[in-house]
Chains A and B, each alone.
Chain A
Amino acid sequence: MAMLHTVNKSSFDRNTFESCLRLAKEGSSVLLIEDGVYAAMKNTTAAEQINSAMGTLTFYVLGPDMDARGIKADALIDGFKIVDYNGFVDLSIEHDSVQSWL
């Protein structure tokens, strides 16, 4: 059962992103929204965890929330896919359920 996990807080502020990575099953997807988008940036302490999970999970980041924080596409870890709100809606449909990590 593929699940969409959304994380909305910075991984440098709370541990929800770390919990999400630990508990998400293979084949699931993680969508970073709001302050959660900071974890998608290269060269941070979160990058290592993401790189090692890249093979089993699919990573997405919400473009409008990147833009609001001045994060450019070239600052992202390789493999991240950028979606807009339409893409967020599509992802929630493509997966069997949505888990919001708050």
Chain B
Amino acid sequence: MKFGIMINEGPYNHQAADSAYQFAKAALEKGHEIFRVFFYHDGVNNATRLAVPPQDDRNVTKMWQELAEAHKLDLVVCIAAAQRRGILDADEAKRQGKDADNIASGFRISGLGQLIEAGIQADRLLVFGD
């Protein structure tokens, strides 16, 4: 079965990003497909490569990157939500005249159309948030 996952909350806030990850991991281990993971609202904060959590804590961004790499996941960050919160890729940083970008590899910035498409293409869309 094909799943779409939407994450509306940042890491280390409540539990939504962790719950979404555990669900995605379990679904993939059972042989299901994740069509897309869409990061919206504060969920875009999962996509920064500049976060440095304590060494004895989990690294949520890295967990997503590794899961995405192992299973070829499409991790999409909403562009409008990302710009509000200072999550930029190289193209956006240049376009906005900023001196740096911070999106983690494995994530890509795109628009809400990607969420709609996930809702259409996936058999189930699960929302994790605050």
Contacts and interface: CB of A to CB of B under 8 A. Distances in A.
A93 B15 contact: no
A75 interface: no
Contacts of B66: none
Contacts of B129: 100, 102
A98 interface: yes
A87 to B, nearest CB: 9
A102 B41 CA distance: 13
Interface in A81-96: 84-86, 88-89, 92-93
B90 to A, nearest CB: 33
B26 A88 contact: yes
A35 B130 CA distance: 11
Contact of B124 (A33, A34, A86, A93): A93
A98 B124 contact: yes
Measured as residues with beta carbon below 8 angstroms from the partner, the interface class of chain A is 10 to 19
A97 B4 CA distance: 12
Nearest to A93: B1
Given A97-B124, A102-B8, A102-B127, A88 B16 contact: no
Measured as residues with beta carbon below 8 angstroms from the partner, the interface class of chain B is 20 to 34
For the complex of A and B, 8 pairs with smallest distance between CB atoms: A85-B26, A100-B127, A34-B15, A102-B129, A89-B27, A85-B22, A89-B26, A86-B26
Given A8-B128, A102-B130, 17 more contacts: A8-B16, A33-B19, A34-B15, A34-B16, A84-B26, A85-B23, A85-B25, A86-B30, A89-B30, A93-B1, A93-B32, A93-B123, A97-B124, A98-B124, A100-B128, A102-B8, A102-B129
29 contacts: A8-B16, A8-B19, A8-B128, A34-B14, A34-B15, A34-B16, A34-B19, A64-B22, A85-B23, A85-B25, A85-B26, A86-B29, A88-B23, A88-B26, A89-B23, A89-B26, A89-B30, A89-B32, A92-B3, A92-B126, A93-B1, A98-B124, A98-B126, A100-B126, A100-B128, A102-B8, A102-B127, A102-B129, A102-B130
Interface of A: 6, 8, 33-35, 64-65, 84-86, 88-89, 92-93, 97-98, 100, 102
